[in-house]
Structure 1
Amino acid sequence: MSAPLDAERIAAMLGPLRLTRARARAARQGGAHPRRAAGPGSEFWQYRMLTPGEAADKVDWRRSGRSDALYVREREREDPVRLWLWSDASASMDYASDETLPRKKTLADTLVAAIGLAAYEAGETCCTPPDPRPLRGDALLAPHGHGDAPTLTNPGPADIVLAAGDFLSPGALDWIAPAATAGAQGVVIAVADPAEIAFPFAGRVHFDAVEPGDRPFEAGRAEALSDTYAAAWDAHRARIAAVCNRPGWLLVDAVTNADAAALAARIASWLREAA
């Protein structure tokens, strides 16, 4: 199934995704907060009388039943939370070790688009770094990758960054510390193919160059490299875990043979928590 179609299916399964975690944290830090004005929000603010021309389905019949007037229930307007959507567009993401598996980029795009669609359905603001303008409609389904790391525009305590990639490029994790220092929260989806984890290669194997500056390599006995490779892979994953080990940040390991819907449900559950 293509990434856009799968993303729509998963988003429908998740339902409207309100970014409760970001809103609660921002309120504590003096960022996003109720505005004492009517508008989109979750908290009741006041009743007002129905004005001529308004639809009858806006009437709060329980309140109106206690008087001779028709009343509308208003919610208090809240400052918006921004959900930054980003998926790795580097060449190493265009890899699948088996034709039955999706490419790493497909899984990344699917998860990011599904969460974005679900948040948009709840009225949340979604954007793609570095452009803070809100995404709408089909733009939410487009790949949100620009290079090998997101470039954020003034992230703050009312922001959550959803970033999916393999983060193999030098400096691919450098954006996390300044974003966290600015008060933003984040979900880092570390995408990997099963072969990248297990290194199931043996005998003579030719490894193509992937990223600019790489050189192709041919191993006469690939199995002799397994210990060295395992140590390098473990160090890479440890770097990701270390930089994400901070309050308000979630690291999700996403292997391409895993259930994308289950991964999205875990992310959505975390975003809904009022931490």
Structure 2
Amino acid sequence: MARVAVHEPEIRSPGRSQTDAALLLANRLPRLVLEARRVSATLAHGIHGRRRAGPGESFWQFRPFHPGEPAARIDWRRSARDDRLYVREREWEAAHSVYVWVDRSASMAYSSDLAQCPKIERALVLGLALADAFVEAGERVGLLGLLPPRASRRIVERFAEAIAADRAGMDDDLPPETPLRTQDEALLVSDFLTPLDELAPRIESLSSGGARGHLVMIADPVEETFPFAGQAVLQDVEGGARLRVGDAAAWGDAYRTRLAEHRGALADLARRRGWTLTLHRTDRPASEAALRVLTLVGASRAGQGLTGAA
């Protein structure tokens, strides 16, 4: 029989203080950053590889000064270090930007003994790893509602710092209502267990300006199968409601049917907006979902509105 856990210290009764403690990720983020870097290193870069010098704000590299160039382009501080003249090149920045959002609400702390980690940890690893991969491919990446897009080689650390400081984000299982531009792209990572009538307006708001988007649904293997039998107590970790069930096995078929209907409706919503949907289970490697998302990103930019599961 699978066991489940919500990562809170000494839960006695549900409440906001316990939920905040459960999702305080400051102590775990350094490890998750390292894991995200490892996953990012396994990804095939070059979504539409654009790394080259040009007009922009971010420093890219120094290169030797070529005769005939305007002297105003010389970086005199760098040139003073040796007997050559150098130009400070900036990274080329197009209008296209990617916005990442990771759900950190209480339901994301769920974990069973069949999973490799809690849903929140896998969601953060995927969000950070994909942000790093996008930057390496030449994208400007931002945190939806927290950080503007940037092409920083330290994007993972910047995102981790912003997430650790954002206590308010722990209370919301919906992405911010931030209309994006046609050139923009959204990456939303969540378990998407929120009722569709609440989730749909947010997705429609994000896509109303023509932005593309990708939903990554994180699921614990126990949530997929509901392998319980006998007496059980079901608890809503966000609202605090409790339900004692006399025969949990009898609930299995109805639960799985309801879950399939919810996911089908979410897939239809994504398809209508031209977005993609990826299902990822926490008993599978993070790299599988990351590679799948990169494939879908490339396909959507090529005009192929694909949906799928990893």
Structure 2 unpaired stretches of 5+ = 1-27, 57-65, 76-86, 303-310
For residues 143-181 of structure 1, what are the alpha-carbon distances to aligned partners after superposition, in whole Å with 9 as ceiling and x for unaligned?
498321111433011111100111112313421123223
User: In the alignment, does 2:168 pair up with 1:139?
Assistant: no
Residue of structure 2 equivalent to 1:98: 113
Matched, 1:9 2:38: yes
Asked which structure has the greater RCO (Cα within 8 Å, sep 6+), the reply is 1
Identity score, percent:
31
Structure 1 segments of 4+ aligned residues over 3 angstroms from their partners: 15-20, 47-55, 74-78, 141-145
Quick check: 1:246 aligned with 2:272? yes
Task: Judge conservation of contact 1:19–1:271 (CA < 8 Å) in 2.
Answer: no
Name the amino acid aligned to 2:55: G
CA distance in structure 1 between the partners assigned to 2:269 and 2:34 by the alignment:
33
Is residue 242 of structure 2 the alignment partner of residue 216 of structure 1? yes
Q: Gaps (5+ residues) in structure 1? A: 24-36, 41-46, 56-71
- Indicate the SS of the match to 1:92: helix
Alignment partners' CA distance in 2, 1:227 and 1:76 = 54
Confirm or deny that 1:235 pairs with 2:254: no
Distance 1:75 1:101, change over 3 A: closer
Q: Does 1:199 align with 2:218?
A: no
1:251-266 aligned within 5 A: 251-266=277-292
Matching of residue 157 in structure 1 with residue 193 in structure 2 = no
CA distance in 2, matches of 1:254, 1:48: 54
Q: Give the TM-score normalised by structure 2.
A: 0.67
> Relative to structure 1, is the Cα distance of residues 101 and 78 closer, same or farther in structure 2, using a 3 angstrom cutoff?
closer
* 1:96–1:81 Cα change, 3 Å: same
Question: Match of 2:205?
Answer: 178
The code of the aligned residue for 1:172 comes to L
Counterpart CA distance in 1 for 2:33 and 2:132 is 10
| Pair 202,256 (structure 1): closer, same or farther in 2 beyond 3 Å | same
What displacement does 1:127 show? 1.3
Cα shift at 1:17: 4.6
Q: Which amino acid aligns with 1:200?
A: P
Give the deviation of 1:248 after TM superposition. Answer: 3.8
Give runs of aligned pairs for residues 53-64 of structure 1, distance below 5 A: none
Normalising by structure 1, we get a TM-score of: 0.74
1:34 aligns with none
CA contact (8 A) 1:131 1:153 kept: no
Q: In the alignment, does 2:185 pair up with 1:166? A: no
Q: How many residues align?
A: 236
The answer to whether the Cα contact below 8 Å between 1:117 and 1:140 also exists between their aligned partners in 2 is no
Offset of residue 14 of structure 1: 1.8
Q: Could you tell me how far apart the structure 2 residues matched to 1:76 and 1:9 are? A: 25
Residue 272 (structure 1) aligns with: 298
Q: Which moved more, 1:116-125 or 1:131-140?
A: 131-140
- Give the CA deviation at 1:97: 1.4
Report the RMSD for the aligned CA atoms in angstroms.
3.1
The residue that corresponds to 2:99 in the other structure is 84
Displacement of 1:86 after TM fit?
Answer: 0.6
